[in-house]
Amino acid sequence: MSPTVLLAILVLLALAGNLAGRRRALAVSGGDVRRLHSLTRYHGLSVTLFTAVPALFLFGAWLFVQPLVIEGKVSRMAALSAVSDAGAAELVMGDIRRVAGGLDVLAASEGLSEGDLASLRVEEGDLPSRLAKAGVAIAGDISADVLDAAREYRRLTHLSSVAMTVAVTAMALAGLFWSLRRLTPDYRARNISESFVLALFIGSALVAVLTTFGIIASLLVESIHFFRLYPAQDFLFNLTWNPQFRGGSDLGIWPLLWGTLYVSFVALTFAVPVGLMAAIYLSEYATAATRAVIKPAIEILAGIPTIVYGLFALITVGPFLRDHFAQPLGLGSSSSSVMTAGLVMGIMLIPFVSSLSDDIINAVPQSLRDGSYGLGATQSETVRQVILPAALPGIVGSILLAASRAIGETMIVVMGAGASARLDLNPFEAMTTITVKIVSQLTGDTEFASPETLVAFALGMALFIFTLGLNVLALYVVRKYREQYE
């Protein structure tokens, strides 16, 4: 039975439970609701919660665990015991899954019964072509072991889905009847359903913790895999990046780190002065009317998806810089370059710097300005000698946050910075960054056991540590050096 139908059954049971709960509450009160501790709708709600929630959890957990258990069982069969290499085992498992899917399709399209499927033999020879006709392409021949394993896989999947339907429905029914039986006039249905809902709230709040845990765990596990295959000191100290899919690659992080920092540096040298001056002008000089137009306009820049900036870098800024700067100056002929990615990323960062700085400048109390004007300072002198020093921790914090954005930015550098890893000072040369290499090592047909793929997780770990470090530093700077005004 499909999960959708099961879900529909659960919803129906929950609704039925709600009605039954209300009915039963009325019945036990003898028709006088004043004898009940809680309103009838809380009785209904408590039955609904006990019916639906445990069953839903079982449902989710089953869907999550089922493939793991089944693949574990199947892989212990003949087909995989001969294969020692993890990558090859993964391929065989994929074949088994496809053949099992193909058998389902065959059963549907050719009207085969279960008995026919069980008597299918590889020796008949036309199995791959019959599968292909049914729309399931299998590369190469199907071995008898794989066919057996696929049959077993199918059998277990069917078994498991039947078992799941029974178990989940039973769980829901058990919850329904158990909670119905507990209804008495003194039953504290409101308190119980409120505690239940509060528990769900706490569970939701834990999703954030689990996400962080998941990120760290997945990065850590695969990075450890990587460092088993590739020595850590080579990753950290080798100065070349040259992955070879036949093995013997150089996977030093330095060229990527250099590219990342160089692009971010160019972006910040563009964004910080522009963003800061824009913030100062908007908060100190601009009239309310100008501010009302300009501030949202600058913030539009923050709402534009990064893919748009990437395309802008690729088709406009890159060729422009190449034709008008790089080639006339003899600095290179590549349209994707550090300068291209840096400038476009700088545009993207303007609103991050400006709106945070704007808030911070506005938070400086008016009395400081008035004091400065009273001593005869001009407006710009006030800004430079009073307001900026007072707002400095916040501004540094906003710049650090912008830097963390720049380091983690992906699409702009993928489309604007190029893909060649090198240590170079020429800003019109194509270079590459950590994020670009994460994308290029993990897209396409990847084999999961090779260091060339797993290196992406180590790079992700480095990226995570960098950005987290910058964010923590930004928070620390703001907290530690913030001026306290009453």
Partner 1 sequence: MSVLATNTPRKGSLLAVDDRTRRRNAAERRFQIYGRIAIGIAIAALAVLLFTIVNNGASAFRQTFLVLDIPLEEKVLDKSGTRDIEAMKKVTTIGYGKLIDKALQDAIAAQGIAVEGLTDKDVKNMISKEAAGLLRDRVLSQPDLVGQTLRAKVLANGRIDGYIKGRVSYESAERDSNVTPAQLRLADALKDAGILSRKFNWDFITTADASELRPESAGLGVAILGSAYMMIVVLVLSLPIGVATSIYLEEFAPQNRFTDLIEVNISNLAAVPSIVYGILGLALFINFAGLPQSAPIVGGLVLTLMTLPRIVIPTRAALRSVPPSIRDAALGIGASKMQSVMHHVLPLAMPGILTGTIIGLAQALGESAPLLLIGMVAFVRDFPGAPPEGFFDPAAALPVQVYNWTQRSDPAFVERASGAIIVLLIFLLAMNAVAIVLRRKFERRW
Q: Which of residues 58-97 bind partner 1 (CB under 8 A)?
A: 64, 67-68, 71
Q: Judged by CB under 8 A, which of 194, 250, 359, 483 binds partner 1? A: 194
Phi, psi of 171 (to 5 degrees): -60, -45
CA distance 313 to 266: 14
To partner 1, the closest distance from the beta carbon of 77 in angstroms equals 18
List binders of partner 1 among 220-259 (CB under 8 A).
221-222
List binders of partner 1 among 332-351 (CB under 8 A).
347, 350-351
List binders of partner 1 among 279-318 (CB under 8 A).
280-282, 285, 294, 297-298, 300-301, 303-312, 314-316
CA distance 273 to 230: 42
To partner 1, the closest distance from the beta carbon of 319 in angstroms equals 11
Among 49-57, 109-117, 401-409, 418-426, the segment contacting partner 1 (CB under 8 A): 401-409
List binders of partner 1 among 406-435 (CB under 8 A).
407-411, 414-415, 435
The DSSP secondary structure of 139-164, one letter per residue, reads -SPPPHHHHHHHHHHHHHHHHHHHHH
Q: Judged by CB under 8 A, which of 109, 242, 244, 379 binds partner 1? A: 379
CA distance 138 to 295: 58
To partner 1, the closest distance from the beta carbon of 177 in angstroms equals 26
> Which CB atom, from 84 or from 204, has the smaller least distance to partner 1?
204
> Which CB atom, from 214 or from 231, has the smaller least distance to partner 1?
214
> Which CB atom, from 132 or from 239, has the smaller least distance to partner 1?
132
To partner 1, the closest distance from the beta carbon of 121 in angstroms equals 29
Q: Judged by CB under 8 A, which of 278, 391, 421, 455 binds partner 1? A: 278
Closest CA to 361 of 381, 380, 389: 389
| Number of residues this chain uses to bind partner 1 (CB under 8 A) | 91
| 134 lines the binding site for partner 1 (CB under 8 A) | no
């540094």: which residue's tokens? 396
Q: What angle, rounded to 10 degrees, do the helices at 388-408 and 254-280 form?
A: 140
Take residue 162 and report the two structure tokens written for it: 């039947």
| 197 lines the binding site for partner 1 (CB under 8 A) | yes
| 2 lines the binding site for partner 1 (CB under 8 A) | yes
Q: Judged by CB under 8 A, which of 76, 378, 385, 389 binds partner 1? A: 378
- How far is C-alpha 83 from the chain's CA centre? 33
3-state secondary structure of 250: strand
Q: Judged by CB under 8 A, which of 81, 109, 129, 218 binds partner 1? A: 218
Q: Is the dihedral of CA 332, 338, 340, 346 positive or negative?
A: negative
To partner 1, the closest distance from the beta carbon of 207 in angstroms equals 6
Q: Judged by CB under 8 A, which of 161, 327, 426, 467 binds partner 1? A: 467
Using the CB atoms, write b or e for 361-372: b if 16+ within 10 Å.
Answer: beebeeebbeeb
């001056």: which residue's tokens? 277
To partner 1, the closest distance from the beta carbon of 208 in angstroms equals 5
Cα–Cα distances (Å) from 196 to 20, 169, 193, in that order, read 19, 21, 5
A 10 A CB-CB count for 28 gives 16
